[in-house]
């Protein structure tokens, strides 16, 4: 069954997810003006799956059931699937200009599928069978699942078991005949409130001393003992203003992050996919991170497309679209954005099958992809701000533009004065100019900047995490040998 966006939103109403924001419990979080745009972004992942022109990108045939599933719930069966994943993410970025949140689950599914297979091979456990059963449940119900990896981590110089507070990493507090009880939290959880389920993974490689922390499991988002604290975003309270529209920049769509707390949550055994196999924590982390670093070569490129479009429109609206330096800046933005896309496509094209049969991306190229994402959107934003002009941060409120308060000597209203002095080229109305400027403000500095800027830096691992992988995968020794062979050094 493929849900529509509307059916997805209605399905959230059946959950009793516990959400806190601004010091209070939010009962109707689905219709809350601060949260709703992020739900609309996820709804787009459901709606586009029903659009025949996107069927090839948005849907796939499940290798588990043979049924058509949303690609966000698909286990990649080929390099073609990996490429389509990136294209789908670019499309969604273009349609929402924000984070659409469903990728973390997709990336977790694929990492879990191959890792559980390999744990079972070594230990004779039955995690793979459990995970396949869980995956069928997710596919059949077209769920969105939050792939939850990042622990709060406390003192970064200490391992999980060395922390003064044992809850700095999610861990098993009790093993029972019927399941386990877990405790801890996951931070920066993208789309957590909007997800039906949470699929939890460890966040770092572990040693035997950390084995209580080597745990992976799935729980419903409204499981007893589970609650979430919403992460606020720059300019978020604008969404609470009456008739909020123009000043929001992107009134309909947004992203979402939250702290997810597991306050002694019980997990039955059939939903546990790793329990104390500490030597596989690193594999799960590396595979999930690899997929998610590939993802950024799609989603951020899609958002970049909209930012570039907004900069080009501003050039038209300001009457500077013929200036050669403006044209060149747009070329530079395109060059940077398409370079990110090249990386996303390249690490997909160089993918390979895992022992379980689903496809993994090329790890080195995926890390190069994400490393570029930590830089290029910043430069794209700098150029967009350059072209847009300072008005994107100095413009009066839309309520001033709409005000009929008489302020001029000739009886001109506040609104008339604003429209007179903030008019641009004749190709646009003042309101159109306002809208695009506010869009850029939102994308570069406001609520959407969470997704386009800081998430580009820290999401899927901060820059140093990629550099560690690049060091591991870069194979400098073989490069030394190349030069030795050419210049005739034998030692
Ligand atoms: Fe998907 Fe990108 Fe958001 Fe990650 S940051 S969930 S890849 S849209
Ligand atoms: Fe992310």
What are the DSSP calls for 33-61, one per residue?
A: TTTHHHHHHHHHHHHGGG-GGGHHHHEEE
Of 289, 357, 365, 349, which Cα lies nearest the Cα of 84? 349
| Per-residue model confidence (pLDDT) at position 108 | 98
Atom of ligand 1 at shortest distance to CA of 100? 8
CA of 325 to the centre of ligand 2 (A): 33
Tokens representing 419 are: 């429209």
For ligand 1, the distance from its centroid to the CA atom of residue 452, given in whole angstroms, is: 10
Task: Please provide the average confidence, as pLDDT, over all residues in the chain.
Answer: 98
Question: What pLDDT, on a 0 to 100 scale, did the predictor assign at position 5?
Answer: 98
Beta-carbon neighbour count of residue 59 at 10 Å?
22
The tens digit of pLDDT for each residue in 283-292 reads: 999 999 999 9
Where in the sequence of the chain do the CATH 1.20.140.10 domains occur? 286-477
Residue 388 pLDDT greater than 90, yes or no? yes
Q: Report the alpha-carbon distance of residue 26 to residue 46 in Å, rounded.
A: 25
What is the DSSP secondary structure assignment for residue 74, as one 8-state letter?
Answer: P
Ligand 1 proximity of 455 Cβ (cutoff 6 Å) = yes
pLDDT tens digits, one per residue of 408-424: 999 999 999 999 999 99
The answer to whether residues 122 and 362 touch, using CB atoms and an 8 Å cutoff, is no
Residue 1 in this model has a pLDDT that exceeds 90: no
- Delimit the CATH 2.40.110.10 region(s) of the chain: 5-278
Sequence length of the chain is 491
Q: 363-368 long-range CB contacts below 8 Å, 24 or more apart?
A: 363/286, 363/290, 363/469, 363/473, 364/469, 364/470, 364/473, 364/474, 366/290, 366/291, 366/293, 366/294, 366/297, 367/290, 367/293, 367/466, 367/469, 367/470, 367/473, 368/343, 368/466, 368/470
Ligand 1, residue 101: give the atom nearest the CA.
Answer: 6
Average of per-residue pLDDT across 83-90: 98
pLDDT of residue 138: 98
Catalytic annotation present for 379: no
Q: Choose, from 275, 299, 369, 428, the residue flagged as catalytic.
A: 299
Question: Looking at residue 252, what DSSP letter applies?
Answer: S
What proportion of the chain, given as a percentage, has pLDDT over 90?
A: 99
Cβ(318) – ligand 1 distance below 6 Å: no
Considering only CA atoms, which residue is closest to atom 2 of ligand 1?
299
Residue 452, ligand 1, Cβ within 6 A: no
107 has a pLDDT exceeding 90? yes
Instruction: Classify domain 286-477 at the CATH topology level.
Output: Butyryl-CoA Dehydrogenase, subunit A; domain 3 (1.20.140)
pLDDT digits (tens, 9 = 90+) for 52-74: 999 999 999 999 999 999 999 99
101 lines ligand 1 (CB under 6 A): yes
Q: Is 458 a catalytic residue?
A: no
The number of the ligand 1 atom at minimal distance from the alpha carbon of 455 is: 5
> Is any atom of ligand 1 closer than 6 Å to the C-beta of 99?
yes
Could you tell me which of 4, 236, 277 has the C-alpha nearest to residue 142? 4
Starting from the CA of residue 99, give the closest ligand: 1
Q: Which CATH number is associated with domain 5-278?
A: 2.40.110.10
Q: Which of 43, 295, 456 to mutate to test the pocket of ligand 1 (most atoms within 8 A of CB)?
A: 295
Strand arrangement, sheet containing 145-148: 145-148, 197-200, 215-220, 272-275
d(CA 405, CA 415): 8
Ligand 2 centroid – CA 190 distance (Å): 6
Structure tokens at 215: 């745990």
Q: What is the pTM of this model?
A: 0.98
44 touches ligand 1 (CB under 6 Å): no
Active site includes 428?
Answer: no
What is the dihedral sign for C-alpha 116, 122, 126, 132?
positive
Residues near 194 by Cβ (< 8 Å), separated by ≥ 6?
A: 12, 38, 39, 42, 101, 144, 256
| Number of neighbouring beta carbons within 10 Å of residue 232 | 14
Query: Beta strand pairing status for 197-200 and 359-360?
Result: unpaired
Supply the residue whose CA is at minimum distance from atom 3 of ligand 1. 99
Interval 196-224: pLDDT, tens? 999 999 999 999 999 999 999 999 999 99
Query: b/e map of 256-279 (b: 16 or more CB within 10 Å)?
Result: bbbbbbbeebbbeebbbbbbbbbb
Known catalytic residue at 277: no
**Protein residue whose Cα sits closest to atom 6 of ligand 1:** 101
């Amino acid at each position: 069954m493929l849900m529509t966006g509307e059916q997805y939103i209605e399905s959230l109403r059946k959950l009793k997810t516990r959400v806190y924001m601004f010091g209070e419990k939010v009962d109707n979080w689905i219709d809350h003006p601060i949260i709703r745009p992020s739900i609309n972004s996820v709804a787009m992942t459901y709606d586009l799956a029903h659009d025949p022109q996107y069927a090839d990108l948005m849907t796939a045939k499940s290798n588990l059931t043979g049924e058509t599933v949303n690609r966000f719930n698909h286990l990649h069966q080929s390099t073609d699937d990996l490429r389509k994943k990136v294209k789908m993410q670019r499309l969604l970025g273009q349609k929402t200009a924000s984070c659409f949140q469903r990728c973390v689950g997709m990336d977790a599914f694929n990492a879990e599928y191959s890792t559980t297979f390999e744990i079972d091979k070594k230990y004779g456990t039955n995690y793979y069978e459990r995970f396949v059963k869980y995956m069928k449940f997710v596919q059949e119900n077209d769920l969105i699942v939050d792939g939850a990896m990042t622990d709060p981590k406390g003192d970064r110089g200490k391992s999980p078991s060395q922390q003064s507070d044992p809850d700095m990493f999610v861990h098993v507090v009790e093993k029972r005949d019927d399941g386990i009880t877990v405790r801890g939290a996951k931070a920066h959880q993208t789309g957590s409130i909007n997800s039906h389920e949470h699929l939890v993974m460890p966040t770092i490689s572990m040693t035997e001393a950390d084995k209580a922390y080597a745990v992976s499991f799935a729980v419903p988002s409204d499981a007893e003992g589970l609650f979430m604290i919403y992460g606020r975003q720059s300019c978020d309270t604008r969404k609470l203003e009456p008739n909020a529209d123009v000043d929001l920049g992107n009134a309909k769509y947004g992203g979402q992050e939250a702290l997810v707390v597991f306050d002694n949550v019980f997990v039955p055994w059939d939903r546990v996919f790793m329990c104390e196999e500490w030597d596989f924590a690193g594999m799960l982390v590396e595979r999930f991170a690899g997929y998610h670093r590939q993802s950024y070569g799609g989603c951020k490129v899609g958002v970049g497309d909209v930012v570039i479009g907004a900069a080009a429109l501003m050039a038209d609206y300001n009457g500077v679209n013929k200036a050669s330096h403006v044209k060149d800046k747009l070329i530079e933005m395109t060059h940077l954005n398409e370079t990110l896309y090249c990386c996303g496509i390249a690490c997909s094209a160089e993918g390979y099958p895992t022992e379980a049969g689903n496809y993994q991306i090329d790890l080195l190229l995926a890390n190069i992809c994400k490393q570029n994402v930590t830089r290029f959107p910043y430069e794209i934003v700098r150029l967009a701000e350059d072209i847009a002009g300072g008005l994107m941060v100095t413009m009066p409120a839309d309520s001033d533009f709409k005000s009929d308060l008489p302020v001029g000597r000739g009886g001109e209203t506040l609104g008339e004065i604003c429209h007179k002095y903030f008019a641009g080229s004749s190709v646009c109305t003042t309101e159109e100019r306002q809208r695009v400027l506010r869009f850029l403000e939102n994308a570069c500095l406001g609520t959407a900047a969470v997704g386009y800027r800081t998430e580009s830096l820290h999401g899927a691992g901060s820059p140093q995490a990629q550099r560690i992988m690049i060091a591991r995968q870069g194979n400098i020794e073989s490069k030394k040998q190349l030069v030795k062979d050419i210049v005739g050094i034998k030692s």
